[in-house]
A and B are shown apart, each in its own frame.
Chain A
Amino acid sequence: MRIGLLGYFLRKALGNIWINPFLSLVTLSTIAISMLILGLFSLIYLNVQQSLQQMGGELQITAYLQETISPEQAKVLRSKVADWPEVEKITYLSKEQALARFRSQLREYAGILEGLKENPLPASLELTLMPQYGRSGNIKELSTRLGRLTGVAEVQYGRKWMAKLRVFVEVMKLVGITVGGLLLIATIFVISNTIRLTFYSRREELEIMRLVGATDFFIKAPFLIEGLLHGLGGALLAAGGLSLLILFLFSHLDLPLRLAVMAGSLPTGQLVAGFLGLGLLLGVLGSMVSLRRFLRP
């Protein structure tokens, strides 16, 4: 396409927007709000997801050993488990070490341990997993495998709360996709409606253009660009709004959420580029929905 023709289409598109500036403003706001909500959902999801992954990496599995196992046997067991690819770190905790740790945890109440005739705490192996093996399925499988080893009495890991958190994240993802999808469809509808109204207000001119030899593309192009500009403008507003919101969260909220926000992706170049891409796509789709209907032979 010639540069001059592109300029012509752009001028026409801006003219279309100028026909009804209030309507254009409403369209821009709708796109911006929809994308802002979608952006917030994505950001929270990414944050929680990332935090979960970090927690997964820090997750420990504890294998309590049978009373009959000697420290030498326990060390053999430790070196065997240390070779498993999932295991990042493994520590052997003897009965004595376990008691000492328990005593230090009890602090001023440590006196209650004085009456013990023998050490009731078992020796154990404490495993820290590689971050990529932090998923619930992997942990369960690993603990079963661990439990089958000779000398292991019981295996414990933070399964319940971890599973709950994962369910929460999955539900959030589902809600996000549903709400986001509905918002995107609504946005396409709003853009399409705006284009349709512009089309109506210029229908006389468009009819004459067709009669004097304008191609469908020539008639469509300014409307496509109009939709594109709306999408792009809405995306820029949303990206700006999201950045402001995050700055606000940083400066006004307490540490946990601040940490969560920090852990996730800030609206850096990638997020802004994603927004703009989505805005362009919505704009084009919105325009095409209208134009398909109006340019039928």
Chain B
Amino acid sequence: MIQLYHVYKAYGGEQYALHDVTLTADKGDFLFITGPSGAGKTTLLKLIFCAEPATRGQLLVDGVNLQRLKRSGVPYLRRKIGVVFQDFKLLGERTVFANVGLTLEVTGRPRAYIEKKVRQVLRLVGLDAKENHLCCRLSGGEQQRVAIARAVAANPIIVLADEPTGNLDDEITLEILELFREINRRGTTVVLATHNRELIGKVPGAKVGILGQGRLVAAGVARQVMAQRSALEISSQGVL
């Protein structure tokens, strides 16, 4: 579903935000991208939904080579990918309904379909009672739910989420994570970037890619990778 082969991303000069990253997520995978701030998590997601081009390497999303994708093809690729942005990117002065419906509007869907679908996804995220509320009046957790509802409204095959629980308390974090698991159970590939490693253990069968200073430090099945990392950390402490 998502394949990265020796991907580099530089923002001018020799400093790489991503350096030789090779990573794969198959259909239905739940992939965590983790690492400290500035490790390249957001950059990786940006490359996947064509917000930025890679400097070098090959990226394939649903069989489409992004390096060869023309500008006119980008919107159609983006319709296959739902994105939950770190800063939500909601229109504060618009209603919950309008924000979620926007994804369907841009594909030219008829009004009746949009109404039905928006209510369906708002039920999924537990906001069906607040469809007429302005987004700026909602709590952080609720705004995050609106962002998730918008990301899944157009039935994407991939959902990317950038630090979706960054500013939320533990209880809400778990609720949001559960939402992503539900989306994943319905067959959607989920890629979730987070610096919170505790989350990874809460999704059985998830995969993980650990980034450090733009390089892929480790990748594989989350439980195995995290166990190896823990062992490494313990042994290095023992040596000290």
Residues on A lying within 8 angstroms of B by beta carbon are: 2, 4-5, 8, 204-205, 207-216, 218, 297
Contact = CB atoms under 8 A, between A and B. Distances in A.
B150 A4 contact: no
A214 B106 contact: yes
B103 interface: yes
Interface stretch (B57-65, B107-115, B116-124, B173-181): B107-115
Nearest to A7: B111
Nearest to B90: A208
A214 B91 contact: no
A211 B89 contact: yes
B106 A218 contact: yes
**Most chain-A CB neighbours within 10 Å: which of B72, B75, B83, B105?**
B75
Interface residues of B, number: 22
12 contacts: A4-B111, A207-B89, A208-B91, A211-B78, A211-B89, A212-B83, A212-B150, A213-B75, A213-B106, A213-B107, A214-B106, A216-B75
Contacts of B217: none
A275 B57 CA distance: 55
A18 to B, nearest CB: 14
B83 A211 contact: yes
A205 B75 contact: no
Contacts of A216: 72, 75
Contacts of A214: 75, 106
B2 interface: no
Contacts of A297: 71
Given A211-B49, A215-B76, 16 more contacts: A4-B111, A5-B108, A8-B105, A205-B102, A208-B102, A209-B102, A209-B106, A211-B89, A212-B78, A212-B102, A212-B103, A212-B154, A213-B76, A213-B79, A213-B107, A218-B75
B108 A2 contact: yes
A213 B76 CA distance: 6
Interface in B33-90: 49, 51, 71-72, 75-76, 78-79, 83, 85, 89
B89 A208 contact: yes
Contacts of B106: 209, 212-215, 218
Contacts of B78: 211-213
Nearest to B110: A4
Nearest to A219: B106
Contacts of A213: 75-76, 78-79, 103, 106-107, 154
Contacts of A4: 108, 110-111
Interface of B: 49, 51, 71-72, 75-76, 78-79, 83, 85, 89, 91, 102-103, 105-108, 110-111, 150, 154
Contacts of A215: 72, 75-76, 106
A297 B49 CA distance: 15
A211 to B, nearest CB: 6
Q: Which 7 A-B pairs have CB atoms at the shortest separation, nearest pair first?
A: A214-B106, A213-B79, A213-B78, A212-B103, A215-B75, A213-B75, A5-B108
Contacts of A8: 105, 108
Contacts of A208: 89, 91, 102
A214 B74 CA distance: 9
Nearest to B79: A213
A207 B87 CA distance: 14
B2 to A, nearest CB: 17
A37 B17 CA distance: 59
**Most chain-B CB neighbours within 10 Å: which of A2, A8, A215?**
A215
Contacts of B102: 205, 208-209, 212
A23 B178 CA distance: 48
A72 B89 CA distance: 101
A2 B150 CA distance: 24
A266 B76 CA distance: 52
A297 B89 CA distance: 20
A208 B84 CA distance: 11
A195 to B, nearest CB: 20
Nearest to A297: B71
A202 to B, nearest CB: 10
B128 to A, nearest CB: 21
A89 B59 CA distance: 87
Nearest to A218: B106
Contacts of A205: 91, 102
Contacts of B150: 212
Contacts of B154: 212-213
A185 B102 CA distance: 36
A216 B105 CA distance: 14
Contacts of A210: 75
Contacts of B89: 207-208, 211
Nearest to B106: A214
